[in-house]
């Protein structure tokens, strides 16, 4: 695992946490409502030139998700938006908007109640997530989700990053901090999604490598 950050004049505090160790013999519980037939079909759908994959199959090639093909607007809480290789699962309202620099970001609202999952069509061994945290945003949490399988169809949590505002802040609400979170997964524990919970942030790009 490698973590890279770039921010001035003071960077947010980052705390990395591995997922809790599962208890042998203990069931993970029923599949949550958001992990429904639509999402399962998305993760096992055929792509041109490739056979229909098993659930949790490793991607055949690299992919950069920059959300450029996503329609601007709000993905309402409880709904999904399917892109080419990413499914946006909105537990709270998720906003897709263009920045002043012309890039497209996935974001939310001020406060602590944002929750969004970005589920990939295939699994990847290396994931890099580029994010920006506006000044004054509440603490947020980015969690990488493990690829599912026929025996374990859930998307279990692999590793989390808690992002806190620094003690030293710029005056006013202008500005913010940018960083990227790199995660290299172990074999058979590849990543097939990202969970964002908590305070406001902007996700601008996810670089995915098998």
The domain segmentation of the chain, as residue ranges, is 55-209
pLDDT of residue 54: 86
Q: Is the pLDDT of residue 23 over 60?
A: no
pTM attached to this predicted model: 0.83
- Percent of the chain clearing pLDDT 90 (strictly above): 61
Rounded to whole angstroms, the Cα distance separating 141 from 139 reads 7
pLDDT of residue 199: 95
> Which alpha helices (DSSP H) does the chain contain, by range?
37-43
Mean pLDDT to the nearest integer, 102-124 = 95
pLDDT of residue 4: 46
Given CA atoms 204, 166, 93, 116 in this order, what sign does their dihedral have? positive
Query: For the ranges 5-19, 75-89, 126-140, which has the lowest average pLDDT?
Result: 5-19
pLDDT of residue 185: 94
Query: Which is more confidently placed, 14 or 69?
Result: 69
Mean pLDDT to the nearest integer, 195-206 = 96
Contact call for residues 109 and 121 (beta carbons, < 8 A) = no
Q: Is the pLDDT of residue 83 over 90?
A: yes
142-166 burial: b if 16+ Cβ within 10 Å, else e: bbbbbbbeeeeeebebbbbbbbebe
Q: Provide the greatest CA pair distance for the chain.
A: 55
- In DSSP notation, 26-71 reads ----SPPTTS-HHHHHHHT---TTSPPPPTTPBPSS-EEE--TTSP
Which CATH class for the 55-209 domain? mainly beta
pLDDT band per the 50, 70, 90 thresholds, residue 153: confident
pLDDT of residue 15: 67
Q: Is the pLDDT of residue 7 over 60?
A: no
Mean pLDDT to the nearest integer, 156-183 = 77
Q: Is the pLDDT of residue 174 over 80?
A: no
Mean pLDDT to the nearest integer, 188-202 = 96
pLDDT of residue 168: 52
Query: Which is more confidently placed, 97 or 134?
Result: 97
């Amino acid at each position: 695992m490698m973590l890279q950050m770039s921010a001035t004049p003071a960077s947010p505090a980052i705390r990395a946490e591995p997922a809790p160790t599962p208890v042998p013999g203990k069931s993970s519980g029923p599949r949550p409502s958001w992990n429904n037939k639509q999402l399962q079909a998305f993760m096992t759908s055929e792509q041109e030139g490739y056979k229909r994959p098993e659930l949790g199959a490793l991607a055949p090639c690299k992919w950069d998700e920059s959300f450029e093909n996503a329609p601007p607007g709000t993905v309402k809480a409880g709904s999904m938006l399917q892109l080419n290789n990413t499914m946006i699962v909105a537990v709270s309202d998720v906003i897709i908007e263009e920045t002043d620099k012309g890039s497209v970001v996935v974001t939310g609202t001020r406060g602590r109640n944002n929750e969004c999952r970005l589920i990939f069509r295939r699994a990847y061994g290396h994931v890099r997530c580029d994010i920006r945290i506006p000044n004054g945003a509440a603490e947020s949490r980015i969690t990488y989700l493990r690829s599912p399988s026929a025996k374990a169809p859930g998307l279990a949590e692999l590793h989390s990053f808690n992002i806190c505002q620094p003690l030293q802040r710029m005056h006013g609400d202008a500005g913010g901090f940018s960083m990227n979170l790199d995660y290299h997964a172990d074999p058979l524990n590849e990543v097939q999604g990202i969970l964002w919970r908590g305070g406001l942030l902007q996700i601008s790009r996810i670089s995915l490598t098998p």
